[in-house]
Each structure stands twice: as structure tokens, then as C-alpha cells.
Amino acid sequence: MKLENTLAFANALDQKDQLKEFRAQFLFPKYKDRSFIYLCGNSLGLQPKIAKEVLNNQLDNWANYAVEGWFDGEEPWMFYHKELKRLMAPIVGASPAEVCPMNTLTVNLHLLMVSFYQPKGKRFKIIMEGGAFPSDQYAIESQVKFHGFDPNDAIIEVFPREEEDTLRTEDILAKIAENGDEIALVLFGGINYYTGQWYDMEAITKTGHNVGAIVGWDLAHAAGNVPVKLHDWGVDFACWCSYKYQNSGPGGISGIFVHEKHFENDKLNRFAGWWGYQESKRFKMEKGFVPESGADGWQVSCTQVMPMALYHASLQIFEKAGYIDNLRNKSIDLTNYLEFVINEVNKELNAEQFKIITPKNSKDRGAQLSIIAKDNGKEVFDGLVDAGILGDWREPNVIRLSPIPLYNFFEDIYLTGKALIEVSKKVLKAI
């Protein structure tokens, strides 16, 4: 299809969009008496309109049943997480037994590393991408210190080549192979938060296993964004937040994945709590931890009902939309159109004012383009906000724009390009 940078073309794409009705199921923030064009779902997804209803249902259960709500009502809290497991599993390519909603992302990362980072002898190192999100860096640093290692010795970071913005898959695989007999854990982010690069998770997982390492993933920017197949790829563990592409609200509940091949491994360490105890005997309050089967056995504290309710609201929309396959098709089209429009903006400005550092190939990226603003980037970003377009600013000079297939239109992309031209001409003229 030949793309056109016109409102009529964008509107025509929107009319053909089979997911267009889902936009009406979300609430958009307002600015100057109109709705923002919201391109920041990679940081915090919009609120589903049904979130208030689903949350109120649980508040009513609390009001009507009090403590008996754990066992009474249409959705007893004791088992509420099981409905979420059913809805979560297809998003990450897992069985319901392999996933569980619980805690927050970095807490879960620590809990899973307790089990899956077990350094022995010369095999004590963790390999990760350079420039990972700070939470991952801090968690990994503290874990290796907890085991008595110096992070400078125990952490191997893989960086892009000089003058390149993203990692080459062959360089990641080569670094794993080069250090294979020393690596205890391969732990990458599925998608890099800064560049928007989607790593070849299947190839990295396979290579990690070939050298005898455990492989885990932080899917904060991947879950609900791109299709992943954690079970089929043999990933050992993963965790993710749900408030970005999965719209569960600020600080929303996290999710974990543990591959079923580890369910019967009694040699795995874990920091246990009573909610991870065998469900059928949990309330006997007996001494000696016996884990519930599957990912549920990694639970520590009791079900977080209200955060789960907000996540449940969004997961129901995912189910109606056809999960990731339908969303992915539109996401590719939206992001490709955004790339085209940004290139058209540069043509209009007669300069490469905006350099896209996210990989060009759709298989290497999700619903995000990270754009280096050559001159006065922060002023351009602020100008976009003033024009009613909300993206995300990352120091020192990157604007992240994330068109979300559940609630963004192609018209949003066209209008963003138009605003970029107007704002850039105004800002650059003032230099």
C-alpha cells in the first residue's frame, strides 16, 4: 500500500479498522477542553471505562460480605486470581498454570531471581543488555552482591556497536557463547524501554540454554504489546508490569511466568509466604512450606483484590479484541504509518530534525518509535504537549511515541505529524 500524509488517507484507514470500536472503551485525558492525542501507552495505558464498574463490584463485595468475601459472592477473592490467569496466559503464550498475577514488577523479579539465579563455582555471571531499565540494573546488582560477588565481575552487559543505536542479535548470541561456561543467568528486557528494540527472544533463549544457563525475561514493554511464546520457546521465567500496554492503572499488579518444566523441581530456592502454600491445605496453618503447584507457588502475600480488579477490566477487553494477533496487525500498520509521517516531516523541514533509533523492521519493534530530536528536543516536546499531543520525553534528547492499537487512530498519527511540523518551524525559527 502506498502511504499518504493526508487526513483523508488516515481517515480511510480508520474506517477500515476492525478494532476501531475499542477506542470508545477508554477514557482520554483532557487538555484545553479537548482530549489529548495520547501516544504514551508505553509508559501508562489509558483507563478502560469498565474499570470503575469492575472495581466498584469488588468494593460492593467488601461492603456486603466483609471478610466472608474471601469465600462468598459471585467472585470469591480466594479464587479471583484464577480468572485472571485464564485471561493473562494467551497474552504471553503460556498455560494458565504457568502464570500468576501478584505483587509489582521488581518485587517479582527479585523473587524469581531467588529461585533461578543460583551461582555455582565459575558459573556465577549474569548477562544482560547494556542500558536496561534502571530497575533491572539495580535488582541485578543487588542480587549478585547478595551472593557475595562484585557487580563489575558478575554482570556482563552487551552494548550496541560504536555509532549504532541498537543491539545486533549476532552480537548478543556471540557474547553468550563467548562467556557460556561462566553464565548462570541470561536476563534481558523483551523490549528495550529507551530504543524500543524487540530482541530476538527465541534465539537468545535457545543460545542461553545451549550454554547451560537459565534464561529469564523482563516483559515490561513486551507483554500486551508484541506476541511472545514463553512456553513454546522454553523460557524459564518472566515477569511484567501490567500498567503499560495492558492498562491496569498506575502501579498496577504484576504478572509472573514459570515454565512448567520447573514445577516439580524441589531444589529451587524461594522466599515463601502463606499464599503460595498448597491451596487445599492453606488454612490449616501448618508448619513447613508446601508450595501450590505451578506459578501460584511463588505467591507470598494474599491476593491483591482491588489491583486485580483493574487488571481484570483491561484483560476482558483484550479477550474481546482477539488478544495479540489482531492487535499486532494493527500495531504494525500504525507504527509503520508513524514512521512514514515522521520521514515526511523531515522532508518538509528539509533536514533530518528527527532521527528514528527504533529498528526499522517490524519484527524488531513493537508499538513504539523512539526519536532523537536533533535541535531543541525538549522545546519541541513541550510544544507537542501544548498542541494536545502527549508522548514521552527521555533525557537527553529522545521523544518516545507509542501508538496503541486498542485506542489510537491513524488520524492521531497524521495530526501528530502536522503538529511536529508546526512546532518545529516555530522552535527552530527561534534559535
| Spatial distance between the Cα atoms of 95 and 396, rounded to a whole number of angstroms | 41
Where in the chain are all domains bearing CATH 3.40.640.10?
53-320
pLDDT in tens, 33-71: 899 999 999 999 999 999 999 999 999 999 999 999 999
pLDDT in tens, 204-232: 999 999 999 999 999 999 999 999 999 99
User: Is pLDDT above 90 for 289?
Assistant: yes
2 vs 430 pLDDT, higher one: 2
Mean pLDDT within 365-383: 95
| Mean pLDDT estimate for the chain | 96
User: Is pLDDT above 80 for 348?
Assistant: yes
What is the CATH code of the structural domain delimited by 7-35+323-429? 3.90.1150.10
Whole-number pLDDT of residue 33: 86
Q: Exposure of 271 by Cβ count < 10 A (0-12 exposed, 13-18 middle, 19+ buried)?
A: exposed
User: Is pLDDT above 70 for 430?
Assistant: no
Where in the chain are all domains bearing CATH 3.90.1150.10?
7-35+323-429
pLDDT in tens, 407-421: 999 999 999 999 999
Mean pLDDT within 164-170: 97
Mean pLDDT within 273-295: 94
Percent of the chain with pLDDT over 90: 94
pLDDT in tens, 305-338: 999 999 999 999 999 998 888 999 999 999 999 9
pLDDT in tens, 247-274: 999 999 999 999 999 999 988 999 999 9
Mean pLDDT within 267-285: 93
Whole-number pLDDT of residue 32: 86
Whole-number pLDDT of residue 329: 96
User: Is pLDDT above 70 for 15?
Assistant: yes
User: Is pLDDT above 90 for 174?
Assistant: yes
Whole-number pLDDT of residue 346: 96
What is the CATH code of the structural domain delimited by 53-320? 3.40.640.10
Whole-number pLDDT of residue 407: 98
Q: Measured over all CA atoms, what is the biggest interatomic distance in the chain, rounded to whole angstroms?
A: 73
List the single range of 107-116, 232-241, 280-289 with lowest mean pLDDT.
280-289
User: Is pLDDT above 60 for 388?
Assistant: yes
List the single range of 29-33, 64-68, 177-181, 386-390 with lowest mean pLDDT.
29-33
Gyration radius of the chain's alpha carbons: 23
pLDDT in tens, 120-130: 999 999 999 99
Whole-number pLDDT of residue 375: 86
